[in-house]
Structure 1
Amino acid sequence: MRERTTQRTGSTHVLTPVRSLTRLELVTEAVQASLEELADTDPRLLASLVDEECRRRYGRPVRLGQNPTRPKTRINTTGNAAVRLLEHLRQHGANRTLGPQVQALRHIAVQNYSRDAADRLR
């Protein structure tokens, strides 16, 4: 940088909210697609997993709008739902019947979430 010239600011403050929004949409769509795939292939696996809250959240298209409310909370809630779905499938021995949507959800969960020292999803 030279002295006495116009300096530009970084765009980190703009890119960070967009990245969070994209992650929220990605994970939510992946959970929806996985639930739909399981409903078509093996609905008995979903009987004990899907409740009214799950139907309300994932039973409709994702429409977040310009400024979604509490995006970090929603990202964590959706991540917990994804992990809960994958663990439920693993416990019920459904690994050999998993379709491409569930496999994609597994990859998305690994790429976007990790456990901290207190075993909380981040």
Structure 2
Amino acid sequence: MRERTTQRTDSTHVLAAVRDLTRLELVTEAVRAALEEVAGTSPHLLDELVDEEWGHRYGRPVRLGKNPTEPTTRILATGSDAVRLLEHLHRHRAGRAPGPRARALRQIMVQNYHRDHAGRLRRPTAEKDG
């Protein structure tokens, strides 16, 4: 480098690193991370819960872009899977604290879903929930 010259940098990699996750990507990645955590510490806990379809949905990182197919259906299905996973872990890990990824998944679920009067899993919408 010479003194008193103009330096230029390429910020493309910085912009790519801070890309926002959509709500669907966030929940899907949180489920995937919790599954990986459990598989690493207690893989037998997943035997009766995880099937081939779960492997297809959560087996690799998800990047959906701006227009995912059937986003409402997918976010509710992913939320239902997350609830099943958290309930399963709660039942089978009595007395043991969940790992950090399972705790993060629980917090994400609290922030992004609620139960309606009939007990069905719902996600807040701007029109109804402000």
TM-score by length of 2: 0.74
Q: Which protein has the larger Cα radius of gyration, Structure 1 or Structure 2?
A: 2
Counterpart of 1:42, as a letter, is S
Higher helix share: 1
Identity of aligned residues (%): 68
Of structures 1 and 2, the one with the larger relative CO (CA 8 A, separation 6+) is 1
Q: Retained in 2: the 8 A contact 1:89–1:95?
A: no
Distance change (3 Å), C-alpha of 1:118 and 1:53: same
Correspondence for 2:126: none
Deviation, structure 1 residue 80: 0.3
Change (3 A) 1:40 1:66: same
Q: Which 4+ residue blocks in structure 1 deviate beyond 3 angstroms? A: none
Count of residue pairs brought into register by the alignment? 103
Unaligned segments of structure 2, at least 5 residues: 1-19, 123-130
Aligned residue identity for 1:30: A
Structure 1 residues without counterparts, runs of 5 or longer: 1-18
8 Å Cα contact 1:25-1:62 kept in structure 2? yes
What is the CA-CA distance between 1:66 and the residue it aligns to?
Answer: 3.1
Q: SS state of the match for residue 26, structure 2?
A: helix
Root mean square deviation of aligned Cα = 1.6
Specify the alignment match of 1:50 in structure 2: 50
